[in-house]
Amino acid sequence: MSTMSSSASQDGLRFDGRVAIVTGAGGGLGRSHALQLAARGAKVLVNDLGSARDGSGGSSAAAEAVVAEIRAAGGVAMANGASVTDPAGVQAMVDQVMAEWGRIDILVNNAGILRDKSFSKMTLDDFRLVVDVHLMGSFYTTKAVWDIMKAQNYGRIIFTTSSSGLFGNFGQANYGAAKMAVVGLMQTLSLEGEKYNVRVNCLAPTAATRMTEDLMPPAVLALLTPESVSPGVVFLASEDAPSRTILCAGAGGFATSHITLTEGTVVLEGADAAEQVAARFAQIDDRAGEIVPASGSAQSQSQLAKVMAARALG
């Protein structure tokens, strides 16, 4: 494939015998992900509704074009035009893959839309549709493959989050909320999938695609190729992938993002407890010694241990 060097795809990470589903793969990032996985031996279901950037319309032509690219390069692929917001369509897509190839090893939840507006101007429909595509769409596809992956004791699931969810972005309350929600989904599924060798991660890409073409200057967009992001997907889809990782990628730069917990302090009940929180907020917010709790319950246990120790001293 044109997106990968032959030496890398021949001698590096391989997916021979593996089956991947990539949603929203008719263009941009999804196309690049599908091409790179196929170049390394994966059989790829290329899913794309073929809608406009705001989610309107639909055509299977984009998915079929990517399938043609993969096949022309000697790969194995088939197209699917289901909307990720349609549970029945998603289930039919999964059934299609199982009937043809008998297993599903990799799911890349990439499908997405934008309806950017300031919060004052954002309608309920603007908010709901973006959440439906990014969050519920990721839920439907993941739910449809989850038990298959558990039964075969192997699975690699990648959710697409965004810096807009992790850190916020003006005019993207709907998109940011949905993108942070998939991080929460990933955090829990990584724990539930651990004993079944189902590893679950998030990718936070920055790329020049139809979704971002209006948001950045041309010189910056030229650096932010989808092809520079997809090596992160290849790694997260691989045999030795981590789990519970948020991998940020763009223009060849890679970093991880973490949800951390500060050391904090303990304020016991009292009439001035709120004032004590205010007075000690600099200490509460001090990031020296911060940790990444292993789970939500681990965070609770850590906090309770400090409170119990403080009470014992008091």
Active site residues: 175
Judging by DSSP bridges, how do beta strands 246-250 and 253-257 pair with one another?
Answer: antiparallel
DSSP per-residue codes, 195-231 = GGTEEEEEEEE---STTTTTTS-HHHHHH--HHHHHH
For 246, phi and psi rounded to 5 degrees? -110, 105
Q: How far apart are CA 190 and CA 182, in angstroms?
A: 12
- For residue 174 the two structure tokens come to 């709907």
> CA-based angle 217:219:225, to the nearest 5?
100
| Three-state DSSP state, 31 | helix
- CA-based angle 249:259:190, to the nearest 5? 80
| C-alpha to C-alpha distance for 157 and 191, rounded to whole angstroms | 13
Neighbours of 313 (CB within 10 A): 7
Q: Which amino acid is at 23?
A: T
The whole-angstrom separation of Cα 3 and Cα 221 is 18
DSSP 21: E
Judge whether 140 and 87 are in contact, CB under 8 Å: yes
* HSE-up (13 A, CA, CB side) for residue 203: 31
The span from the CA of 282 to the CA of 291, in Å, is 17
